[in-house]
Amino acid sequence: MSLLVAGERSGVGKTTVTLALLSCLRQRKIQVQSFKVGPDYIDPMFHCYVTGRACRNLDPMLTSEAYVQECFDRHAQTATHALVEGVMGLFDGAAGRKDFASTAHIARLLELSILLVLNCSGMSHSIAAIAHGYRSLDPRLKFAGVVLNRVGSDRHLELLTAALEPLGIPILGVLRRQDEITIPDRHLGLIPTAELENLNAIVDRLAHLGETCFDWARLMPLLEQTGERSEERGERREERGISGQQSKSTPSPLTPHPSPLTSSPRLAIAQDAAFSFYYADNLDLLEALGAELVPWSPLHDRALPEGVQGLYFGGGFPEVFAEQLAANVTAREAVQKAIQAGMPTYAECGGLMYLCEAITTFDGQSLPMVGTLPTTAVMGKRLTLGYRQAIAHQDSLMLEHNSTVCGHEFHRSSLTQEPTSPLFSLHPTTHNPYPTPEGWHRPHLHASYLHLHWGAHPESPARFLTCAARYDSRAC
């Protein structure tokens, strides 16, 4: 059995509750594996910092229902306890798909008990209506109890407790208004862990909250792994009609298709404060396919690692560090030279921005970047956010012509020039009724705003590595 932390809406305190539980468990020297519902990168960074383990994203839109089940089963077995943080409100899923990819959907797929976080500010007896509505809307869901957040006083708690008592819903945690911990944020959410100087103090405070604000006698049995085999869980899910629809065809996340690689290509992975958005499963998959991952920093390193045969630039915040990136001229020149020489390169979102001629920051500065792409990334107020179905325009480094992938966009920049030979055509949406060209393509280059999770499509990184294995690093 495992526990899923859900909220009645966004901003209700799911992340604070999750991190408090994780911090307390880690302080008790308990092995806990965490998961995050949805495509988010930053919350998993905090999970990882606290637990010392890579947090795994559970997103059936980017992968599949079967992949979500297998990923959870595989990684939950490696710890004695497991905890999942939800996304948005409990029933909020991908637009137009009812509650698909919602926290409730994941709870059903994985048969998880739900710990519902309620914002109690400004209400007393009305809390019963909210709790009753969430518990009764979908009878397939199992509710372990609630956490009352933003409780104002002892009298306020008495009123809330009296309101919930007739429902028989256990109160498993109480956080007072003065208990709230603020983690700094900016234009794309929380500030990542690498940029917070006082993070250890925040974690200590979270651990204290975890120790003092929760009913651990009831919580611990819900968090403990039973040792039940994944096959048994799968059989029970199938009996209940909630097994993943693609389970027979979706490959295991760590047993990818056989690779034709005759050598182990070395990939330079940009990893620093400017580039930190990577799905742990993607990195695992590259290694399982035979790659050697070599971290390096476009902020601090003056050259690429020796002997690399491919480049991987994840997302992040290059706009925040644009002055430092621009000042590291030798690194920019090394990347430009490598790409000009044909080194296979994968770049998404922040990585795409770094490969542009320049980044224009929020304050209007235009700072030079690598210059591989004949366009400038301009920061603005408009947020581009959401899942995208994309059709490949031609054979490319990662995809076959006409193949369809689901990705996720989350950025406040736009490009001054559209690609002449785009990677994708984005499917029409309610906001844009026409197919939209997206992404920059060359035979050895994939650069796009779309964040991709390769879990259900291991053939994509396999294509990349096949190309990298053939590349002669001596060319640059």
Which residues are catalytically annotated? 349
Neighbours of 382 (CB within 10 A): 9
Q: Which amino acid is at 399?
A: L
- Which residues have C-beta within 8 Å of that of residue 32, sequence separation ≥ 6? 22, 25, 26, 51, 53, 79, 80, 81, 82, 83, 223
Tokens 């029970």, residue located: 236
Tokens of 234: 């799968």
- Encoded tokens for 294: 């070599």
Kindly give, in sequence order, each residue whose CB lies less than 8 Å from that of residue 126, ignoring residues fewer than 6 positions away. Answer: 163
Extract the tokens encoding 333. 């020149």
Contact by Cβ (8 Å): 324, 273? no
Computed on alpha carbons and rounded to an integer, the radius of gyration of the chain in Å comes to: 23
Can you name the residues that pair with 414 across neighbouring β-strands?
Answer: 378
Q: Please name the amino acid found at residue 359.
A: I
In 248-372, the DSSP E strands lie at: 266-270, 275-277, 292-296, 310-313, 315-316, 345-348, 356-360, 366-368
- Burial pattern 313-339, b for ≥16 Cβ within 10 A else e, equals bbbbbbbbbbebbbebeebbebbbebb
Which one, of 45, 22, 17, lies nearest residue 33 by Cα?
22
What the block records as the tokens of 437 is 């060209």
Contact 310, 270 (CB under 8 A): no
Give me the phi and psi of 371, to 5 degrees please: 90, 10
Q: How far apart are CA 476 and CA 230, in angstroms?
A: 47
CA dist., res. 451 & res. 359, Å (int): 19
Token code pair at residue 189 = 């959410």
DSSP letter string, 163-195:
HHGGGT--EEEEEEGGG--PPPEETTEEPPGGG
